[in-house]
Homo-oligomer: A and B are copies of this chain.
Amino acid sequence: MNGAEAFIETLADCGVDTCFANPGTSEMQLVAAVDRSPRMRAVLGLFEGVVTGAADGYGRMADKPAITLLHLGPGLGNGLANLHNARRAGSPVINMVGDHATYHRHYDAPLTSDVTGVAAPMSDWVRISRSERDLAQAGAEAFSVAQSYPGKIATVIVPADHAWTEGAAKVAPLPVPPTAKTPQEAIDQAAAALRDSDGPSVLFLGGRALREDALHHAGRIAAATGCRLICETFAARNQRGAGRVAVERLPYFGEQAEAYLAEFKTLVFVGCEPPVSFFAYPGKPSWLSPPGATIVRMASMREDALAALEGLATALNAPAQPALVQKSIIVEAAPGKLNSANLGAIFAELLPEGAIVADEGATQGGAAYGMSAGSKPHDWLQLTGGSIGSGLPVAVGAAVACPDRKVIALHGDGGAMYTNQALWTMAREKLDVTTIILNNGSYAILNIELARVGAQNPGPKALAMLDLTNPAINWTKLSEGMGVPAVRVETAEEFRAALADALAHKGPRLIEAML
């Protein structure tokens, strides 16, 4: 077999079964190898940001990596933003990036670029294959790295001649490194801090600490100590809803987050680091934890969150039953003109059990998040790295990973434009995704930020740069143009009917919610 086949077969032996692809000429042998492997599904994206964002969503839901197939440095460049988000999510991803044949590089053909240089900033690990025989070995190593808890971005650069040369053979999968465990000393320190807190305490959760099993122990710890449970503002995957342990969400804006945390005397962190403001602002704090409080960084995102929380519950001799179990709640939606509040209420009421929400709702999506706390149990995926244009691709990946679950993409209009091509992949693969575009015709968050960074009295050019209404984007036409049936709604009643209809049917739909 050739190098490409050995590489793909090795990854298939590792358990990888999905390839999100946007190939070019230098990747044709990899395309052919995926084609020949009955164990590998190929999903085409018409832009690389769709491909990498889909791998992120897939990784979050499948807890194993998909492969991305990308075309040299520029193709990888187009995928960087969503690799950034994936890396911040701790998602497992294997990038396979084609490059020129080794002997062709020095000719500096038009597409020649520093592929390693492009890969490095958004990868945890970069590896260039050294021969057609080495390519499969690189694949096995990439899987081992990508699968390191909770997940890493592993990039393999594949010179075309390594892919097409015969004489390669697949290699055995390598062991995945054992997950780091929190030392007992850190658990004991956290237990003492919570037990002896000189006032309100909080168990602050992120990463894998927001899975249902880990949250169960967090709820037990709350039952034992009376601590509050708060999570990072943007979580990779929060398993929430009625019957699960509920977690409060830290507000986005720094000064609100600082005020939210001000009362706490003790903060214990599991699965994340102490929060900082998303951006710096003149005269506003970056560090958000209260001065003088006891801070225990019990487990980083790379330590086993479930074991850490279970250990902490044990150290505290916590009861078996968790506190803070979420009750079922239905909020009534006000009729008439659609707004974020009645949209959120209807969304929360109709959200089906087991749904996966890919949330890049931005300024208009907050109500849907808040009101769905007591909806049927579901998974909520957020914009972990802050680079907008992630939600639609993440929805694609989640739907590929979980074909039996309804996926809902809740997306601001500004962010959705970056990777609108994801709709085409939804149509092509008949993915069971309902996309809700929150169309307010604006980069609304930036209108707020313009004032917050101290830019007073913005003039017409500045305001125009945040305005998307000239011309207004018609998402219904965009969606239909890419093969996804769409409907525009302006009232609560229309939204309810459209969402109910979309949820009652399999396959992609788009609802353009005019706000």
Contact = CB atoms under 8 A, between A and B. Distances in A.
Contacts of A427: 471
Interface stretch (A104-112, A191-199, A490-498): A104-112
Interface of A: 21, 23-26, 28-29, 31-32, 34-36, 42, 44, 46-47, 49, 72-75, 77-78, 80-81, 84-85, 88, 100-101, 103-104, 107-111, 113-114, 117-118, 120-122, 160-161, 164, 234, 273, 276-280, 282, 286-287, 384-387, 389, 414, 417-418, 420-421, 424, 427-428, 445-446, 449-450, 452-455, 458-462, 464-466, 468, 470-478, 480-483
A216 to B, nearest CB: 27
B113 A122 contact: yes
B103 A280 contact: yes
A307 to B, nearest CB: 25
A387 B101 contact: no
A419 to B, nearest CB: 8
Given A35-B459, A286-B104, A477-B480, A111 B464 contact: no
Nearest to A118: B121
Contacts of A85: 74
A35 B458 contact: yes
A114 B110 contact: no
Contact of A279 (B104, B108, B273, B476): B104
Contacts of A35: 458-462, 465
13 contacts: A24-B449, A46-B468, A74-B84, A74-B122, A100-B279, A113-B122, A417-B421, A424-B473, A474-B481, A477-B477, A477-B480, A477-B481, A478-B481
A25 B449 contact: yes
Given A446-B28, A477-B478, A478-B477, A84 B80 contact: no
A462 B387 CA distance: 31
Given A29-B455, A473-B482, A110 B417 contact: no
B23 A465 contact: yes
Which 8 A/B pairs are nearest by Cβ-Cβ distance? A471-B483, A77-B80, A477-B481, A74-B387, A101-B280, A35-B462, A104-B280, A32-B455
Contacts of A454: 29, 164
Which of A88, A286, A421, A465 is packed against the most chain B CB atoms within 10 Å?
A: A465
Contact of A453 (B160, B389, B475): B160
A75 B73 CA distance: 16
Contact of A111 (B26, B278, B476): B278
Contact of A47 (B417, B446, B482): B417
A63 to B, nearest CB: 22
Contact of A28 (B73, B417, B450, B468): B450
A474 B464 contact: no
Contact of A84 (B24, B34, B77, B459): B77
Nearest to A46: B417
B386 A428 contact: no
B446 A387 contact: no
A72 B384 CA distance: 15
B277 A109 contact: yes
A464 B42 CA distance: 9
Contact of A475 (B24, B466, B473, B481): B481
A108 B279 CA distance: 10
